[in-house]
Structure 1
Amino acid sequence: MRREVHRGAFVRGVIAASAAAWLGLSLGCGVEPSADAGDASAEAGRIVRKSASAMTSAEIDRFKRAYEYAVAEGFFDVFNDEHYDHHRNRHHGADLQATSPITVKVMDEASGYRLLPWHRAFLLEAEQMLRAALRQRDEEEGVDPSEADLLFLPYWDAAHDQDLPHWVHGFEPKGGTAIVPPGLPEGHAGYGKAVGERYGIVFGRWPGQNQVFDTLQAPEDVGRILAKATFADFYDALDVTPELRLENYPRALSGLDVLEMKLPDSAAVQTLVDTFSQPPSGSQGGAETTNALFEIGWIGAVEARKAAPDMELFDAVKDVYSLFNFMPHVRMHLWAGGLDPANADVRGTVTYFNELTVDPVFWMLHSELDRYWYTWEKTHADKPPLEGDDRSFNPLTASEGAWYGGGETYTLDDLTAHDALPYAYDALFGE
């Protein structure tokens, strides 16, 4: 019997992260497990989250059974809706629209600083919901439901794996619904429906198939982020400002020369030519420049899918992008989701922020971001610079989370007290 879940009707989609401060943006884009040999062990009564690549076959099976059941039963629908409701949750520094090419809408600074604590609370709610879903499935199938106490959200160690974990590649749960956002392209399952309606999600994932987001962060990239002294700087490097590879500035200029020749009427190219007329330093440009960067990335991806692509044009786009070493948050989303090989207008599910919670990669990449923060917190006392109501986090309402015992309100102090968290990680980053 399908459990009825609350569904809000929201009208915006969200993502944080994807351009540089020099472009003028601030985008910030408990249980006690029983003993089970080979499974996650308890640390002071807490579940231990492990790398998805290091999970045992029993842990993988447990997670997949819970997850596919929760998606099919519609349990993630309300998680989709809440992640979509930026007005209520204020949990990203920018909205990444469903449009093709990608466009961003910048939000306020406090929303960016809420990104990590809000998603920490969201992870806790999802972990609790999945345990309840597994208990329900086990009861229906005559299996001992106590195994649900062992379930945890794994993390995706993208920097070391440089790929999705082996068992995740073919794991594409079917089911779930989402709210139609503005701007969906033709070819997407929600295209043609009115904004605010619901549609059945058609899962898509093409890792590495976004031609300008085809690499993942390296361990040394994360190491530099973890070396930041303040939370603001740590967050900025994780989610807001890409490192500039200034040695590639001449290459980027050459690429723009080619694009200006081949696309003389492109407003996006002209915007970038104007922005790059001098070596980038400080705050430069704005959302228009960021959207221009995304537009030429889309042009390159479309070109790459042609039977006889113009490789000079494609290479010029790559040359412009060579100036940036993008932040882990945006890289993981756009790398993992990729673009449909047959239609560059359609991105992977994990990049549409009205439907992405049905993809387990969303939770794994945010567990990894949380592990970065958890690691950084071990040697730093600084907290997100938030005041008043911005220090309170309620990803799901009490009524939405009632059926699984969730829907809690978390304070910033709750979420930054490591000893009180109902989970730990099997290893800090770099260990």
Structure 2
Amino acid sequence: MSQNYPNILLIDAIPFQGGSKVATRTLLHELTTEHQLCIFTQTPQSWQGLNARFYPLYMPRWLINKDQGIIYFIKYLLIALQVLLRKPSLGKITLAVGASGPSVDLALYMLKPLLGFTLMQLVHGGVACSKTNARCLLRADSIHYLPSSRASMVAALARYGITDMMFNEPRFTPMLNGLDKSEWPSEALMHSSEPARPVIFWAASLLKWKGLSILNQALQELNASDANFSEQGFSANICYIQPKNIALEYDEPEDDSANIHWFNQPSNLDEMRRQSSIYVSTSQQEPFGLSTLEAMAAGLCVVIPSDASYWDLALIDGANCIKYRPGDSQDLRQKLEHLIKHPQLMISLGRHAMFISRNYHAEQVYLPQLQVIDSYLGAGSSKAQASITGVF
């Protein structure tokens, strides 16, 4: 690869797969290979499909979970030093992309005055209320944030005596997430053939805030309500990501039962989703919800909490989804039982959700971010320059 192409630096400091990585990978996939990506990561498999040079990211075990105090700064200083040691092979870095939020991308802010790159910060979730995060937000050349993260950024900036008027600056840009056409989920089989029985589908990490225990309790209540119903009425596939080396609390996977099956990051996730009928989200205040969007794109009937999160505000109960009271396993059980007993409603809601998903093609929703990247690189060679022909 020619060194004449602009280099983009990305530091992936999260040791397991997650929504922010998937969203960032999808965004970067919309760039052509004329941009050389340099990714420091512990999980290169998270970035499959990108034309990139990968560099191993070393982190001592005793530092991995440190997110506060002086040790937190030492942790990210060590990451920054690893980039500096690789500088001869990296070449000139034109742009650095913060792939999660300022507290996770702190090493980039340490490197910015030394390497002189432009820093584009993506914010995929809440920002901790700290002066460090406020200083990072002030130093970033542009910030592209999910609307759900704005309130937390306002609170962080207030710690530095700055009001939300700063969001009127052009460098603050709200964003949504989308799906790449090449990775668009396969349509659920229930739209082309009568399902033998409904299959409930759940896909997320086991972090406590993902709320798996709520679904687990609802499923146990469904099974306890009627033995014949549990054996003939439904099955459930729980697809999970096991968090690694983090300080946050998480649930533990359970053993399979007669109709509830657990899968650790299955390689055939698309096929499992295709064979499903109902998708359940149990996340608490999900910043966006890529798994929900993927389920909608597949035509599953989506069941979500009514918690004022993104999809709660975007979807209509009874028209293109089913909503339940947040944290209420009994209400979730009742909604699931109603759908299982009324399969045509389940199919209709899934079809309407699938129609909504067509507004979330990556080349459309990431167009503002692609144009900003082009302006930084002076490349003019990303797919943002291609005409947008609408949904398929």
The alignment's TM-score, normalised by the length of structure 2, stands at 0.24
Question: Larger % of strand: which?
Answer: 2
Q: Which has the higher contact order (CA 8 A, sep 6+)?
A: 1
The alignment's TM-score, normalised by the length of structure 1, stands at 0.22
